[in-house]
Amino acid sequence: MNYATIKYYDIANGPGVRVSLYVSGCRNHCKNCFNPETWSFEYGHPFTKEEEDKILKGMEPDYIKGFSLLGGDPFEPENQLALVDFMERLKRAYPNKSVWAYTGYDFEADLLTGKKGNPEVTMRLLRCIDVLVDGRFVEELKNPDLLFRGSSNQRIILVRQSLERDELVQMVAETDRTYLRGFVPGDADALYEILGDGQTMQYVEPAFDREKTVKFLNETCVGNKNAYVAVELKDSGRLIGYIMLKPCGERQLEAGWIFNKDYRGLGYACESVGAAFDHAFTELGAFSVTAGIDERNEASLKLARSLGMKFVTSERENGNTLLRYVKTKGNK
C-alpha cells in the first residue's frame, strides 16, 4: 500500500490534535474531492514498517488526542489488508486515544455485509476504530458548517456501540469524557433509570413509568438525534443523561437537560450541555437557545449561567415559576 502523506499535527479530521495517515487508492471518485490525487493506488510512497514506527512515536505526547485514518479510502480491499495489522498494533499501544476513520462506503450496506474485501479483515479493522465517518462526499450537499465532514449525507458513527448493540449509533458531539449520540431502542432501561426517578424529575414533571418511558423513547427520541440527545460515558458506555434541543421558532431551540442523580456535581452536565449548545449553533444553524428553568432548581440555574445564558423573563407554568434564560450565537 502507498500513502499520500502523514500529518503529525492535524486539527481538521477529528477532535483535538491528532496524527493522520492519508492512504492512497480510492474507487469512489467523488465530484470535487478535496484530495483527487489519492485516487491512484500508485500515488505517494510505500507504507513501510518505518512509517508505522514513526506514527507510533508521533502518538506519544499527551497533547495528541488520537489517530485519524483517511485517504484515499482505507476501506478499499487492498488497503484493508495492508492496514489491519498496523491498526491493531496502534490500538494496543494507545487504547485510550481515539481512532477516527473516513470512508466513502456505507457502514451497513458495504462494510457490515462484507462487500468490500475479506469480511473477517473488515471486521478486524472496524474493531480498531472508535468513530467512522461514512458515505461519499456529495457536492450538492456540501456544508462548511458541518463538524469533521464535508456533506450532510455523511454520518459520524460510533463503531463499538453500533457493533455491540447491532443497531446504528450516530454521534452528535463529544467531550473529553462523554459521547453525545442519538438514542436507540436499547436505551430503554438506562433512560427509565433517569426519567423514572422522582427525585431526578422533581422540577420537571411527574416521574415516568416504564411504559411511558419506552413510548417516549421510541416515538420521540429514536431517529431524532439532533433534537433528543443521549449522553454516554466514554469509559463505561453508560447512558447518564438526556439533552433536548427542540425547535421553537426561526433559528431558535428550546433546551432542556436531565442527568442521572448519581452523576451530578461531577461536571458531566456542564461539559455535555456545552457541547450540545456548540452543536446547535454550528451544525443546526441556531441563532439562540432558550431554557425555562424552575426557580427552585438551583443546579440547573447555576449550569445555565455557567454556559453564558442570560436571564430574560419569568413565566408561570402549572403553578410553578420558570425563569427564562437565553444564549445567543457568539455570546460567551
pLDDT digits (tens, 9 = 90+) for 169-200: 999 999 999 999 999 999 999 999 999 999 99
What would you report as the CA-atom Rg of the chain, rounded to the nearest whole angstrom? 22
Cα dihedral 102, 108, 112, 118 in deg (nearest 10): -60
Whether residues 62 and 188 fall in one domain: no
Whether residues 131 and 258 fall in one domain: no
Joined together, the cell numbers standing for residue 40 give 491512484
- Burial (CB count <10 Å: 0-12, 13-18, 19+), residue 91: middle
**Res. 159: pLDDT tops 80:** yes
Whether residues 159 and 269 fall in one domain: no
Cβ(327)–Cβ(309) below 8 Å: yes
Per the structure, the count of domains in the chain is 2
Joined together, the cell numbers standing for residue 297 give 432548581
Answer yes or no: pTM beyond 0.85: yes
Joined together, the cell numbers standing for residue 137 give 462526499
- Domain of 86 in residue numbering reads as 1-169
Domain boundary among 169, 185, 205: 169
Whether residues 228 and 144 fall in one domain: no
Whether residues 39 and 146 fall in one domain: yes
Whether residues 197 and 273 fall in one domain: yes
**Res. 285: pLDDT tops 80:** yes
Whether residues 209 and 301 fall in one domain: yes
Whether residues 162 and 306 fall in one domain: no
What is the pLDDT, as a whole number, of residue 146?
Answer: 86
Whether residues 111 and 128 fall in one domain: yes
Q: What is the rounded CA–CA span in Å between residue 139 and residue 305? A: 40
Helix (H, G, I), strand (E, B) or coil at 166: coil
Whether residues 3 and 130 fall in one domain: yes
Whether residues 91 and 180 fall in one domain: no
Cβ(71)–Cβ(25) below 8 Å: yes
Whether residues 9 and 158 fall in one domain: yes
72 φ/ψ sector (left φ>0, alpha ψ -120 to 50, else beta): left
Domain boundary among 169, 187, 219: 169
Per-residue pLDDT reduced to its tens digit, 242-259: 999 999 989 999 999 999
